[in-house]
Amino acid sequence: MKVAHLVIVTPGRTGLYETTRELVVGLRARGVDSCIVDPTESENTFHPGTLSDRGARFAEMSWALDADVLVSHQGLGEELEATDQPVIHMAHGRPRSSYLQGNKGHNIYQHMFNQNKLRRTKAVVSFWPQHEPYLNVIFPDTDVHTVQAPVDLEAWKPGEAEYTFDGKGSTFNVVIADMWRDDIDPFVAINAYALWAREVPNVKLHLYGVTDRKAIAPLLSTLQNDGTLGEVRGFVHSGLAHAYRAAQCALTTQTIDTRSVREAMACGCPVVRIPGPNLNGFRPLFWEALGRSRDVVRQEAEKRFDPAVTAEQFHNVLLSISGD
């Protein structure tokens, strides 16, 4: 079976691509002829220009035109939209985030609605069981499946804490590395940290993925005055594994296992979840996380995020639509 995965090739830059790559590697290990095809082709400036990426093979559009199944991660592209090949729609995004993108002219929800009406769309696959109720509404005529969210357990693994954070002398280092969007913001998490940090000596918060500091400027100023603010940086990915290995915990407002959660846990870094907006009772979460063994956190990641398990579950979806 030839399976083309349509995704914009952005190594080390987007979680969506990294998750797709991990899925393709897992499927190839199972003997499924899977390749990544970039629907933007020459328009993409991040393509490494090689034939493969860490075990995942790239293919040209001509290869996809002869594939048995198309897996749409970020759209099929004009050429494949015109064919009648079976399609699996991958719902990577959070439902509310996808809905809110419509206010910016990116009609993701409308795209999903249109996909439901096409007979060639044979299945919808999500990595989040929490999202199934939303997808069952927008895809009433299409089977919705959930597979386990993966992470590359070799690239993200425990090791020596070689990284030295800015703001030397801290005993505890806390990392926030979420990509902040309309439906998720850092406000609650940073507030929770600010309150907890006043109880702990020599603690620092390090923020990555900060694209706009204006909205959180007062919080950053408060942390600076308290002496508990460490690094504040924009997009960082390649060095995050080192940061997770050196940090005592990672902090997130996510209630699902996003890339930042999976990557941190795979490195053995305990994760504190502040679902908010109510901050009452959050303090024990920090101490509970700090009391967890890094080995136990890693073992949990191996059990919950193994790409081999994801590939097996996705393979079953492929078999269900092929009738084999």
d(CA 285, CA 299): 20
Give me the pLDDT at residue 324, please.
54
Give me the pLDDT at residue 227, please.
92
Give me the pLDDT at residue 168, please.
59
Assign domain 172-304 one CATH number from 3.40.50.2000, 2.40.170.20, 3.10.20.600, 3.40.50.620: 3.40.50.2000
d(CA 269, CA 187): 22
Residue ranges covered by each domain of the chain: 2-150+306-322, 172-304
Mean pLDDT (whole number) for 92-113: 79
The model's confidence at residue 296, banded by pLDDT at 50, 70 and 90, is: very high
3-state DSSP of the chain: CEEEEECCCCCCCCHHHHHHHHHHHHHHHCCCEEEEECCCHHHCCCCCCCCEECCEEECCHHHHCCCCEEEECCCCCHHHHCCCCCEEEEECCCHHHHHHHHHHCCCHHHHHHHHHHCCCEEEEEECCHHHHHHHHHHCCCCEEEECCCCCCCCCCCCCCCCCCCCCCCCCEEEEECCCCECCECCHHHHHHHHHHHCCCCCEEEEECCCCCCCCCHHHHHHHHHHCCEEEECCCCCCCHHHHHHHCCEEEECCCCCCHHHHHHHHCCCCEEECCCCCCCCCHHHHHHHHCCCHHHHHHHHHHHCCHHHHHHHHHHHHHHHHCC
d(CA 210, CA 33): 38
Question: For residue 4, what are the CA distances in angstroms to 35, 126, 150, 313?
Answer: 5, 17, 19, 17
- Looking at the predicted structure, is the pLDDT value of residue 85 above 70? yes
Question: For residue 138, what are the CA distances in angstroms to 70, 102, 219?
Answer: 20, 15, 38
pLDDT 10s digits, 112-125 = 777 777 789 999 99
Return the structure tokens found at 61. Answer: 């559009």
Q: Give the type of residue at 226.
A: D
d(CA 140, CA 121): 12
- Do 267 and 300 touch, CB atoms closer than 8 A? no
Please state the pTM of the whole predicted model: 0.92
Give me the pLDDT at residue 35, please.
98
Mark 190-207 as b/e (b = at least 16 C-beta within 10 Å). bbbbbebbeeeeebbbbb
pLDDT 10s digits, 225-279 = 999 999 998 877 668 999 999 999 999 988 899 999 999 999 999 999 987 777 8
Q: What is the CATH number of domain 2-150+306-322?
A: 3.40.50.2000
End-to-end CA distance of the chain: 11
Q: Give the type of residue at 170.
A: S
Peptide bond before residue 186 is cis, with ω within 30 degrees of 0: no
Percentage above 90 pLDDT, the chain: 66
Say whether 172-304 and 2-150+306-322 share the same fold: yes
DSSP lists the bridge partners of residue 71 as 5, 88
- Do 98 and 108 touch, CB atoms closer than 8 A? yes
